Amino acid sequence: MIKVQNLIKDYGQLRAVDNISFRIPKGEIVGFLGPNGAGKTTTLKIMTCFMPPNSGNVYIDDLNIYQSSIEIRKKIGYLPEGCPLYGEMNVVDFLKFVAELRDIDKDIILKKVMEIIQTCGLQDVVHKEIGELSKGYRQRVGLAAAMIHNPKILILDEPTTGLDPNQIAEIRELIKRLGREKTVLISTHILREVEATCDRVIIIDKGKIVADGPLAEIQNSFHNQNRVYFEIQADTKMLIDEFESLPDIDSVQLYSKKDSLYKFYVNFSKDIDIRPDLYNFIKSKEWTLFEMRAEQRSLEDIFRQLTDKGEETK
């Protein structure tokens, strides 16, 4: 249903999207992840015909963005980050307005509005002004506006940003329900939401795709490594360097450092167990070991390693 082919986008000397390609079949919920500046939002804007690429193409049902942008927009519901709405309008009037913009037949506009209000759980706020609604309800209104024309594809940019845990759970369930009927592409920095919602993950970094596949498959691909978490107090600035110099260690990732307290991960081959050697090394240095534990890799761990970031980012 969606085919992105050799997409390139430059802003002056900066290459924001660097020759990426992927396909998304009908009925899949896909998480689109990457740190700030990775090229996610630029890719979404190209896919939704908001801006052209420098080269490459996007196909939606064999229609391409150069020759069929209007037809493609009819097939897509797009919720951009920030959920732009008219705060002075009430929910019903706003959705009627969007339906008219979407060229829905006037005879069925009210029917479509009532149906989408039911789908998105807006029954309790239909006559309220949008500016008076909570962030969760405003997100629901944004989703309703993106879906009023019954698109085959939903593209959602940060749909749960700023919501409380209950609101996040509600939007998550709504997205999962919509995924039974539509293709959904979600760009988000909340990795737990991806684990709870998505069938597949695409991770982009510096404009390039660094991982693409079913969530379980990506996680399993990292299971050929052991991972150990350490908390060590040491009066040295070279602790991470010293660990990295040890034999049989694949990588060391610093989680945090405050004064002389280091929190970090050590990754090494699953075929060996070097924990006794690591313990003896720490003891020989006379460092204080507060914690040492084996850990399973989460999507956050994989994201951090693939994008080489020290913290979870958008």
pLDDT tens, 192-242? 778 888 989 999 999 999 999 998 788 767 666 788 999 999 999 999 999
CA distance 184 to 260: 46
pLDDT of residue 311: 40
CATH code of the region 225-296: 3.30.70.3190
Residue 186 predicted with pLDDT over 70: yes
> Is pLDDT larger for residue 192 or for residue 253?
253
Percent of the chain with pLDDT over 70: 96
pLDDT of residue 310: 41
Alpha-carbon distance values, 133 to 21, 127, 305 (Å) = 39, 11, 39
Q: How far is the first Cα of the chain from the last one, in angstroms, to the nearest whole number?
A: 26
- 183-187 and 2-11 beta bridge pairing: unpaired
State which amino acid sits at residue 288: T
The 10s digit of each residue's pLDDT in 19-35 is 999 999 988 999 999 88
The reported pTM is 0.74
Partner residues linked to 185 by β-bridges: 30, 155
The 10s digit of each residue's pLDDT in 36-63 is 889 999 999 999 999 999 999 999 998 9
Percent of the chain with pLDDT over 90: 65
**Do 2-220 and 225-296 agree at the fold level?**
no
Residue that is written with structure tokens 């002004």 in the block:
129
Domain locations in the chain as residue ranges: 2-220, 225-296
Sequence-distant (≥ 6) Cβ neighbours of residue 197 within 8 angstroms:
29, 31, 172, 175, 176, 179, 186
> CATH top-level class for 2-220?
alpha beta
